[in-house]
Structure 1
Amino acid sequence: MSEETQGAAEVYTFAKPFTFEGQEIKELTLNFDDLSGEDIIACDRLYRAEQRGGISLAPEMDKAYQAYVVAKAAGVHVGLIRAAKAKDFTSLTLRARNFLLL
């Protein structure tokens, strides 16, 4: 896995490419800086709908919520983030946590 930056965006390269919905995924461009308040609210709504009452008091620390934020920053479906290998998933969700907590 490696990282490059393109302006405010970061290119995340997966440790090992994987296939999601018939496409080989090698890298993602993450642009946390372009997210709006509406984007974060949309992530929160999706997260809460999925949790069905088992909501975390600090969703910023919950990997399920962080996956939604990563997906929004990358412009992809959250299923792609969840399909990543554990090492890449953890690295991506840590980026979201750092963004959310700074």
Structure 2
Amino acid sequence: MNIIFKKPVNFEGVEHLSIDLNFDALTGKDLLKAEAEVRAMGDRTPAVSFSMKYQAAVAAQAAKVPVEMILSLPAREFSRVTMLVQNFLFNED
């Protein structure tokens, strides 16, 4: 799923016009890796699927980018991306 940003996003000196969230390529290991990553960041949300940090980490796994890129998105783009992850995690179309 290719998400085109409303404005270019600069991350580490590289301008990004979009991000490709390939949820179909994710495995259980990817989800566990995302959970471990956010737990190491201090996230203690009991139901991790509801954590925006976890959703950002899942998006990063799906896009094969560092989680820091997702976290650095402008708020509107970040919300859009995490909402798509929520829909994926909770099996909503």
Q: CA RMSD in A?
A: 0.9
**Residue 62 of structure 1, CA deviation:** 1.0
Which residue of 2 is the match for residue 26 of structure 1? 17
Which of 61, 66, 74 is the matching residue for 1:85?
74
Where 2:82 maps in the other structure, the secondary structure is helix
Where 1:84 maps in the other structure, the secondary structure is coil
TM-score by length of 1: 0.85
The structure that is strand-richer by fraction is 1
Q: What amino acid is the match of 2:55?
A: Q
Residues in 2 aligned to 1:41 and 1:55: alpha-carbon distance in whole angstroms: 15
Which residue of 2 is the match for residue 56 of structure 1? 45
**Quick check: which has more Rg, 1 or 2?**
1
TM-score by length of 2: 0.93
Residues in 2 aligned to 1:39 and 1:33: alpha-carbon distance in whole angstroms: 12
Task: Give the length in aligned residue pairs.
Answer: 91
Where 1:57 maps in the other structure, the secondary structure is coil
- Unpaired runs of 5+ in structure 1? 1-9
Residues in 1 aligned to 2:83 and 2:9: alpha-carbon distance in whole angstroms: 20
Per-residue CA deviation, residues 70-92 of structure 1 (Å, 9 max, x unaligned), is 00000000111111110000000
**Residue 31 of structure 1, CA deviation:** 0.4
Where 1:14 maps in the other structure, the secondary structure is strand
Runs (4+) off by over 4 Å = none
User: What percent identity do the matched residue pairs reach?
Assistant: 36
**Residue 57 of structure 1, CA deviation:** 1.2
